[in-house]
Amino acid sequence: MDKSKNAYPDYSYFHQKNDLALYQICGYNKVLAQLNMSLEQTLKGFYEVHLFNKYGYPALKLNYPNIEDSWLNKCRILFPELDSVVKQYNTYVQYDEIDKDIIRLSKPLKMTEGKSLLLNKYYEINEDSSEIRVILNCIFGSNTLLGYVKPFKEKHYHNLFDLLNNEEVYYEFYEEYQKTNIDFLLSHDVIKKSKDGQLSMPDNDFKIILKSLWEYRACSYWHYSEKGMRYLDEMLNKGWLIKNDNLLTKEEKRYFSYYMDNGEFTNGFAYRNLYAHGCIISEEDTEKHHIAYLVFLRLLTILVLKIEDDLWCATKAFVTGILSTTK
């Protein structure tokens, strides 16, 4: 409640995980330095060589700073590569090639605006659907108290999902005020009731989908089994989900915006203004620039891996013959 509606939810747990990621990047780089390597060289080899050898992706050269450069100059050199990597891939999506003239003449493209090769890369929660919000809250939320039922109250299950995964639960265990939500889930085929009244979830594929929607608000369609894809298509037809053809999910784009721009969030870092728009910055604040550079390395790693994942998914779509989903 201490955040404004336009603030990114960077609470203490978020900062703990973010700090851990920074330490890991820093430590990984030190280990590589002992082997006369660097994370930058590793990313460059993965991007330029691995993606071409495995998928035929014709990436342009990835620039990275020299080891003796100051942290400020390192940031100024690496930051444009983030946008460049996404712009190259977006050009590949549109034209099936990476043409330097097209890239040079086309309008600027932020890293959050890159497209996927697939029309249905992600299935994300439809914010206009109240049904899916209620379903996810009933399954995973603790406020409904559906995980708090006799004879398992002393086990303190956090939610209905955990309860059904660990116990044999029967419809008769619930009080009348709780049965309203149980009946809602039954009417939408989210849970099943056997002849003797035992409640359960359909199968493991469906559980994985619901858990991904709750945790990430999105499912990467091509990473699911055929049964999982059918579930996702059914949820799409019910209006619970929408398709996304971007390289990043909506939540991933928000994460990038939190660091890069100050247009969406009031508490963001606005690194784009600092390192890409010619702002006058003190070179003496080395710790600040060092942290920013480690963040750029992490975001670049994410982007390169997202491109590799998109190429893998497009290959799977092609091999399975579902060509109508590719661009």
Are 202 and 94 members of one domain? no
Buried b (16+ CB within 10 A) or exposed e, 238-270: eebbeebebbbbbebbbbbbbbbbeeebeebbb
**Among 244, 279, 301, residue at a domain's last position:** 244
Are 155 and 233 members of one domain? yes
pLDDT (tens digit per residue) in 133-174: 999 999 999 999 999 999 999 999 999 999 999 999 999 999
pLDDT of residue 283: 75
In a domain, 53, yes or no: yes
Q: What is the pTM of this model?
A: 0.92
* Residues sharing a CB contact under 8 Å with residue 269, sequence separation 6 or more, in sequence order: 258, 259, 260, 292, 295
Angle at 59 between CA 38 and CA 99, to 5 degrees: 145
Are 196 and 275 members of one domain? no
**Among 244, 277, 307, residue at a domain's last position:** 244
Judge contact between 133 and 94, C-beta under 8 A: no
**Preceding omega of 151 cis (within 30 degrees of 0):** yes
Residue with tokens 């790693």: 301
| Structural domain for 272, as ranges | 12-117+246-325
In a domain, 37, yes or no: yes
pLDDT of residue 182: 97
Amino acid making up residue 181: N
Are 170 and 228 members of one domain? yes
Are 60 and 96 members of one domain? yes
Are 126 and 162 members of one domain? yes
In a domain, 2, yes or no: no
In a domain, 7, yes or no: no
In a domain, 196, yes or no: yes
By CB atoms closer than 10 A (0-12, 13-18, 19+), residue 126 is middle
In a domain, 231, yes or no: yes
Tokens of 15: 């900062």
**Backbone phi, then psi, for 101, in 5-degree steps?**
-65, -40
**Among 227, 244, 261, residue at a domain's last position:** 244
Are 74 and 27 members of one domain? yes
In a domain, 207, yes or no: yes
Are 218 and 267 members of one domain? no
Are 39 and 147 members of one domain? no
Say how far residue 23 (Cα) sits from the centre of its chain. 21
Are 158 and 112 members of one domain? no
In a domain, 3, yes or no: no
Cα 183 to Cα 65, 174, 189: the distances in Å are 60, 11, 10
pLDDT of residue 195: 94
Are 273 and 233 members of one domain? no
Are 233 and 304 members of one domain? no
Tokens of 125: 């929660």
Q: What is the tally of structural domains in the chain?
A: 2
Judge contact between 207 and 201, C-beta under 8 A: yes
pLDDT of residue 323: 52
Query: CA 155 to CA 169: how far, in whole Å?
Result: 13
Low-confidence ranges of the chain (pLDDT < 50): none
